[in-house]
Amino acid sequence: MSDTRLLLRLWLTKPRQIATWTPTGTAVAQAYVDALDAAPRDGHIVELGAGTGPITGAMIDAGCDRSRLCIVEYDHALVVLLKQRFGHTGIVQGDARALDALFDAHGIDRVAAIVSTLPILHFSRTDQKRVLDGCFSRALPGATFTQITYLPGSPIRRRALSRWGYCARRFKRVNRNWPPATLWQYQPASAD
């Protein structure tokens, strides 16, 4: 089954769990790789909502050390596909809203960067905060959380971010994608 058909089938049955019915394009995947340029050189790179793996593949092709990657996907069928494509190393079935337990189980204590294609816009504010807090509880100084959206503004409201102690900035607009996409980055406000 093609990636698009698989994602479409999953999206139709779980639209709030599966962010989109089409795989991430190569220009967006490259933008995520570009976001890692400023990441600390040690610690894990965490991918949330890996889907069919286009960002995973782009990070590996760019030379990311496989031992640094923690690829998190919630859907069992997508985890099976990811393991077939990339092997079992670093691929974890788990919930991004419960990262502390996942990180403990896999020995992750230092996070250098987070890349996400989660449908975070559809998460409750409480769950959005859980994801950010889970990532940044183990983040190294300078770590960023990079999130995609197809809408004009931040998928996490700036007012909520401010209350929670985080700040947002538009990282990159990717027009060579359908639909055009924007990557946003989040950090603790003290890192700004």
Kindly report whether the global pTM for this prediction surpasses the value 0.85: yes
Percent of the chain residues topping a pLDDT of 90: 75
State the chain's mean pLDDT as an integer.
89
pLDDT in tens, 100-151: 999 999 999 999 999 999 989 889 999 999 999 999 999 999 999 999 998 8
pLDDT, residue 83, reads: 97
Range of the domain at 47: 3-191
Tell me how far apart the alpha carbons of residues 78 and 7 are, in angstroms, rounded to a whole number.
9
- How many independent structural domains does the chain possess? 1
Assign 144 to helix, strand or coil.
coil
Looking up residue 57, the CATH number of its domain turns out to be 3.40.50.150
Helix (H), strand (E) at residue 59: helix 54-61
**pLDDT of residue 155 exceeding 90:** yes
In this prediction, residue 17 has a pLDDT band, given cuts at 50, 70 and 90, of low
